[in-house]
Amino acid sequence: MTTTAQPTTVRFTKGQGTGNDFVLFSDPEGDFDLTPDRIRALADRHFGVGGDGVIRAVRSENHPEGRAILEEDDAAEWFMDYHNADGSAAEMCGNGIRVFTAYLLEQGLATLTPGETLSIGTRAGVRDVQLNARGFQVDLGRWRLDDEHPEVRARDLHAVRPGLGLSVGNPHVVVALATADELAKVDLTVIPIIEPAPLEGANVEFVVPSDPLVADGVGRITMRVHERGSGETLSCGTGAAAAALAVRYYAGPSAPDQWRVDVPGGTVGVRMFATEDGEHVSLSGPAELVFTGELAI
């Protein structure tokens, strides 16, 4: 992998949350020239470290988008500078923010004890993280149903399916399928075609409701995802939240506000709850730091 900038050594940590994996490094002053070439070099599974995304920890005051976030909440000391494996920037990453939190704690850059909240700046706004029984819980903020009702065509789906467009800080289109067999057969090695095509692209989730849909008051679904900028991944946290919101929408008013979402890389929890500024959705799940190293890019 070639880069146009002079090679420089990055001390990185590899982390994962339900198999959604990231290369993390800290750049408190925000002076590292993080070019798309360098992001691709770090994320490359053959020639680099390998990951679905690259996350840089920058002090909010030292990042242009971080500074804007400080106006919203000056407690967000750290900005999660998230990039997909193809070098594109994304507004938010639900698995990534848990792994980012674990990284900040491990590096001694932040502290978080049970009952406390750690506010983190993201391109989608400030997001609050807490410890919980699954690992970490993050308030993804207010969600939004998009006006357009797109159609989705994926290889081996044999038909164009209706999708539901939702934003949980970043864009998603959720497609409900009837059976686990149908879900297994969808070929996500190619990008699903969405029509009308969202201007900024979208993550596409294929979801199958469990039978029964609700057990012990918790809704259950299984999901696979094609992530914008990364391809099929083992998990997508914001995608799990979007999928649970879509299935609750389809299921109607009796559907629960608590969901368990099974993804190829594990299980995450999703909860919808009322706040003064409208309904929020939260995500909970594990975060693990796997190894550290250095790479010249």
94 is in an annotated binding site: yes
All residues at 6 or more sequence positions from 222 whose CB lies less than 8 Å from its CB, including other chains: 180, 183, 207, 208, 210, 261, 262, 263
Least distance CB 192 / ligand LBFN2T5F (angstroms): 13
Q: Helix, strand or coil for residue 102?
A: helix
Contact 14, 21 (CB under 8 A): yes
Is 253 an active-site residue? no
Q: Which is nearer to ligand LBFN2T5F, 61 or 132 (CB)?
A: 132
Catalytic residue, candidates 93, 186, 225, 268: 93
Instruction: Please identify, using beta-carbon distances, which residue of 95 and 119 lies nearer to ligand LBFN2T5F.
Output: 95
236 is catalytic: yes
Q: Is residue 203 part of the contact set for ligand LBFN2T5F (CB under 6 A)?
A: yes
187 DSSP assignment: B
Pair 210, 230: CB distance under 8 Å: no
Flag whether 170 is marked binding.
Answer: yes
Residue type present at position 14:
K
Q: Under 8 Å CB-to-CB from 182, ≥6 apart: which residues?
A: 157, 208
Judged by beta carbon, residue 88 or residue 181, the one nearer ligand LBFN2T5F is 88
228 is in an annotated binding site: yes
Our CA angle for 196, 198, 200, nearest 5°, is 160
Buried b (16+ CB within 10 A) or exposed e, 159-184: eebebbbbbbbbbbbbbbbeeeeebe
Tokens of 283: 């995500």
Pick 209 or 237: Cβ nearer ligand LBFN2T5F: 237
Of 81, 128, 205, 227, which lies in the binding site for ligand LBFN2T5F, with binding defined by CB under 6 A? 227
Q: Which of 236, 242, 268, 297 is catalytic?
A: 236
Distance CA 137, CA 240 (A): 13
Nearer to ligand LBFN2T5F, 61 or 197 (CB): 197
84 assigned to a ligand binding site: yes
Residue 237 annotated as part of some ligand binding site: yes
Do the beta carbons of residue 168 and residue 139 sit within 8 Å? Answer: no
In the bound complex, what is the minimum distance in angstroms from residue 167's beta carbon to ligand LBFN2T5F?
A: 10
> x-or-dash pattern for ligand LBFN2T5F, window 90-129, by CB under 6 A?
x--xxxx---------------------------------
- Contact positions toward ligand LBFN2T5F, by CB under 6 A? 20, 53, 84, 90, 93-96, 170, 203, 227-230, 236-239
Q: Which residues are annotated as a binding site?
A: 20, 84, 94-95, 170, 203, 227-228, 237-238
Q: Which residues are known to be catalytic? A: 93, 236
